[in-house]
Amino acid sequence: MKKTLFFINFLFVSLLLLSSCAKKEILFVPLKIEWFEYKGDLSKIDQSLVPAPVVEGFDSTENRCFIAMTKILMEDPLIQLRANQNISFDVQYYRYQYKKEVSIHFLGRLSEPEKQGTLETEPMVLPLFPKEDIGAWTARCNPKGQIKDFAFNGQKTKRQRPLKMKTSTIE
């Protein structure tokens, strides 16, 4: 009787350990991101936008923002649910100056190769209610490299998520 109880307990604990190990969190989400710098007239987007100068060097706002934006996309629960679908995004970005500081605005959508040719000269048009819940999104990156106002179109709330990296890794 004791042997049977021991065996049942051992089997139960073994199955419990195996099942808990099998439920690992996704560590890497394969994404393909095509970046397109909007080089057209910012007044086509918003009359109040002031173009910002390009800052060269690894520590530039642009580089910190690209790293932060990629990280946000890879960590997003909606995108992680589709990790096996090889998601591809077209992302249009532009720099603008606000209170003498450079910020970057991102517009993203599921890739549409037939429309990529105009993304450097024409503003990206995003559907208000895309067919898929990850079909279109917007975000803003502040001068500190933090992504603000990230939201998928059609959702009622925006998510505020700062870049959680040590500054020594990107300097």
In a domain, 14, yes or no: no
pLDDT digits (tens, 9 = 90+) for 17-56: 555 555 555 566 778 899 999 999 999 998 989 888 776 7
Give how far the C-alpha of residue 5 lies from the chain's centroid of Cα atoms, to the nearest Å. Answer: 51
Whole-model pTM?
0.71
- For residue 159 the two structure tokens come to 């998510």
Q: How many domains does the chain have?
A: 1
In a domain, 10, yes or no: no
In a domain, 11, yes or no: no
- For residue 31 the two structure tokens come to 């994404």
- Three-class DSSP category at 111: coil
Question: What residues make up the domain containing 142?
Answer: 32-170
In a domain, 74, yes or no: yes
* DSSP string over 64-89: HHHHHHHHHHHH-HHHHTTGGG-EEE
Integer CA distances (angstroms), 55 to 50, 78, 103, 117, in order: 15, 33, 12, 25
Question: Of 106, 102, 169, which Cα lies nearest the Cα of 142?
Answer: 102
In a domain, 12, yes or no: no
> Within 10 A of 78 (CB to CB), how many other CB atoms are there?
13
pLDDT digits (tens, 9 = 90+) for 110-164: 889 999 999 999 999 888 777 777 789 999 999 889 999 898 886 655 554 443 4
